[in-house]
Amino acid sequence: MGIRLNAKAKVIGVLFLLVALAAIYWILLETGALTIVNNKAVLREWIDQLGYWGPVGIIALMITAIVLSPIPSAPIAMVAGAVYGSFWGTVFVVVGAEAGALIAFAIARSLGYDVIYRWRRLRPVFEWLGKDRSQGALMLVIFTSRLVPFISFDAVSYAAGLTPLTFWRFVVATLAGVIPTAYLITTFGGLLMATESGMLTIILIIVSSITLLPIVAKLLLARRRGRKNACQQ
């Protein structure tokens, strides 16, 4: 009886959360706040007007953009770089992105993990993913996904919360992947703000591909060594 009540409470919690997020998104849309985020020039002017509170605005916007998936985070990072430079812009973006990712992870873990784990067909998979070796693989997936611009940062954060990946591993993998990406966008923030969105996507894909080359090379080398050892045996 207690288990059923707990499961029902979590379902109600999920529904309440979805309604709350939808309401927040609607408010942002109706008040024109969403338009400000999508317009980099207007967003920069708004951040400038905040003065000393500008960094808080950047961090808050990054958190909101990650928890509320439809809100884009790239324009926020570009403006942060254009206003505060590559170093402090990166710091503010990383803090906001990391906090937003942790909130999304915590929401999914607290409201969805137990419900999914109760499915008998998925339980063996979850137990396998809970092993140390699988935990390392999950960390690599999280880290790699942070380097690829066309993979949703928000979706990955929520999805990770539904896996057995430990909290500290998620923190480390996300932080390691966010820093180079945030530095890239904030360093070229001013240039990217003047770049068409299509060209921006191409630039990010090229740079992320270059970033991923060492990872791919390492995986291929490990696979080659594994085959060589198998042949020798």
pLDDT tier, 87 (very low <50, low <70, confident <90, very high otherwise): very high
pTM for the whole thing?
A: 0.74
Which pair of tokens denotes residue 228?
């060589």
Residue pair 187/162 in contact (Cβ under 8 Å)? The answer is no
Q: What is the pLDDT of residues 29-69, one digit of tens each?
A: 776 667 777 778 888 888 989 889 999 999 999 998 898 87
Q: Which residue has the higher pLDDT, 114 or 28?
A: 28
Q: Is 151 left (phi over 0), alpha (psi -120 to 50) or beta?
A: beta
Of all helices (H) and strands (E), which one includes residue 149?
none
Euclidean distance between CA atoms 70 and 48, whole angstroms: 24
CA geometry: angle 169, 172, 175, nearest 5 deg? 145
The count of structural domains within the chain is 1
Q: Which domain holds residue 226?
A: 2-232
